[in-house]
A and B are shown apart, each in its own frame.
Chain A
Amino acid sequence: MTAAAPRVQAAHPGAGPRLQAFADRWLLKLFTIAAIAYLMVPIVVMIVFSFNDPVGKFNFVWAEFSLDAWASPLNRPGLADALWTSILVAIVGTIIATILGTLIALALVRYSFKGRNATNLFIFIPMATPEIVLGASLLSIFVATATQEPFKSIIPTGIFYPLGLKTIIIAHVMFNISYVVVTVKARIQGFPRHLEEAAMDLGANEWTTFWKITFPLIRPGIIAAALLAFSLSIDDFIITNFTSGLVNTFPVWIWGTIRNNLPPQVHVIGTAIFLIAVGGVAISVWLQGRGSRTVAVRPR
Chain B
Amino acid sequence: MSLLRSRRAIPYLLMAPGLLWLLLFFVVPNIQMLLFSLSEGTLRTGFTTPPEVWDFQNYTGSIAKFSKNFTNSIVYGGLATILCFLIGYPLAYAIAFKGGRWKNLLLFLVIAPFFTSFLIRTISWRIILGNDGPVLSIVRDALGLVPDNFSIIGTPLAVVGGLTYQFLPFMVLPLYVSIEKVDRRLIEAAEDLYAGPWRRGGMIAGAVAGAFVLIALQVGLGYGKLVGADAAPAAVMAAGLVGAVAGGLVGGLLISQAFIRVTFPLSLPGVFAASILTFIPALGDYVNAQLLGSPKTQMVGNVIQGRFLDQNDYPIAAALAFLLMAGILIAIALYAKLLGTEELTGGTA
B-binding residues in A (CB < 8 A): 3-4, 7, 10-12, 15, 19-20, 23-24, 27-29, 31-32, 35-36, 38-43, 45-46, 49, 60-61, 99-101, 103-104, 106-113, 116-117, 119-126, 128-134, 136-141, 143-144, 147-148, 170-171, 173-174, 177-178, 181-182, 185-186, 189, 231, 235, 237-238, 241-242, 250-251, 254-255, 258, 262, 266-267, 270, 273-274, 277-278, 281
The digit string for B314-349, where 1 denotes a CB below 8 A from any CB of A, is 100110011011001100100010000100111111
Residue of A nearest to B305 (CB): A132
Per the 8 Å Cβ criterion, residues 5-42 of B in contact with A are: 8, 10-12, 14-15, 17-19, 21-22, 25-26, 28-30, 32-33, 35-36
Once the chains bind, are A273 and B116 in contact (CB under 8 Å)?
A: yes
Residue of A60, A140, A186 touching B32 (CB-CB under 8 A): A140
Contacts known (A104-B19, A126-B26, A170-B25); A186 close to B284, Cβ less than 8 A: no
Contacts known (A46-B120, A130-B281, A147-B46); A61 close to B132, Cβ less than 8 A: yes
Q: Which residues of B contact A107 (CB under 8 A)?
A: 10-12, 14-15
Q: Which residues of A contact B165 (CB under 8 A)?
A: 38-39, 42
Once the chains bind, are A31 and B90 in contact (CB under 8 Å)?
A: yes
Residue of B130, B250, B305 touching A61 (CB-CB under 8 A): B130
In the bound complex, CA of A19 to CA of B317 (Å): 55
Indicate if B301 sits at the interface (CB-CB under 8 A): yes
Once the chains bind, are A121 and B308 in contact (CB under 8 Å)?
A: no
Q: Which residues of A contact B117 (CB under 8 A)?
A: 235, 237, 250-251, 254, 270, 273
Q: Which residues of A contact B94 (CB under 8 A)?
A: 28-29, 31-32
Contacts known (A36-B106, A130-B283); A231 close to B115, Cβ less than 8 A: yes
In the bound complex, CA of A11 to CA of B341 (Å): 40
Q: Which residues of A contact B33 (CB under 8 A)?
A: 133, 136-137, 140-141
Once the chains bind, are B49 and A121 in contact (CB under 8 Å)?
A: no
In the bound complex, CA of A58 to CA of B53 (Å): 48
Per the 8 Å Cβ criterion, residues 124-172 of B in contact with A are: 124-128, 130, 132-133, 165, 168-169
Once the chains bind, are B114 and A231 in contact (CB under 8 Å)?
A: yes
Once the chains bind, are B21 and A133 in contact (CB under 8 Å)?
A: no
Q: Which residues of A contact B301 (CB under 8 A)?
A: 130, 132
In the bound complex, CA of A173 to CA of B277 (Å): 21
Once the chains bind, are B348 and A117 in contact (CB under 8 Å)?
A: yes
In the bound complex, CA of A178 to CA of B280 (Å): 17
Once the chains bind, are A124 and B341 in contact (CB under 8 Å)?
A: yes
Contacts known (A125-B332, A235-B114); A28 close to B196, Cβ less than 8 A: no
Residue of A23, A116, A123, A137 touching B253 (CB-CB under 8 A): A23
Once the chains bind, are A32 and B345 in contact (CB under 8 Å)?
A: no
In the bound complex, CA of A118 to CA of B124 (Å): 41
Contacts known (A60-B127, A242-B309); A39 close to B14, Cβ less than 8 A: no
Number of interface residues of B (CB under 8 A): 99
| Chain B: minimal CB distance from A62 (Å) | 8
Q: Which residues of A contact B284 (CB under 8 A)?
A: 130-133
Q: Which residues of B contact A189 (CB under 8 A)?
A: 347, 349
Could you write out 17 A-B pairs with CB less than 8 Å apart? A23-B253, A28-B93, A31-B90, A60-B127, A117-B348, A119-B15, A125-B332, A130-B325, A133-B33, A133-B284, A136-B308, A140-B36, A143-B314, A181-B18, A182-B346, A251-B119, A270-B117
In the bound complex, CA of A38 to CA of B84 (Å): 12
Of B49, B132, B325, most buried by chain A (CB within 10 Å of CB) is B325
A-binding residues in B (CB < 8 A): 8, 10-12, 14-15, 17-19, 21-22, 25-26, 28-30, 32-33, 35-36, 43, 46-47, 49, 87, 90-91, 93-95, 98, 106, 108-110, 112-121, 123-128, 130, 132-133, 165, 168-169, 188, 191-192, 196-197, 199, 250, 253-254, 276-277, 280-281, 283-287, 291, 301, 304-305, 308-309, 314, 317-318, 321-322, 324-325, 328-329, 332, 336, 341, 344-349
Residue of A121, A185, A254, A273 touching B341 (CB-CB under 8 A): A121
Residue of A46, A104, A274 touching B18 (CB-CB under 8 A): A104
Residue of B11, B19, B332 touching A128 (CB-CB under 8 A): B332
Contacts known (A11-B196, A41-B128, A258-B291); A104 close to B321, Cβ less than 8 A: no
| Chain B: minimal CB distance from A49 (Å) | 6
In the bound complex, CA of A297 to CA of B147 (Å): 66
Residue of A109, A139, A237, A281 touching B349 (CB-CB under 8 A): A109
Residue of A42, A255, A258 touching B128 (CB-CB under 8 A): A42
| Chain B: minimal CB distance from A276 (Å) | 9
In the bound complex, CA of A49 to CA of B130 (Å): 14
Once the chains bind, are B280 and A46 in contact (CB under 8 Å)?
A: no
Q: Which residues of B contact A110 (CB under 8 A)?
A: 11
Q: Which residues of B contact A137 (CB under 8 A)?
A: 26, 29-30, 32-33, 321
Once the chains bind, are B14 and A103 in contact (CB under 8 Å)?
A: yes
Residue of A nearest to B282 (CB): A130
Once the chains bind, are A117 and B341 in contact (CB under 8 Å)?
A: yes
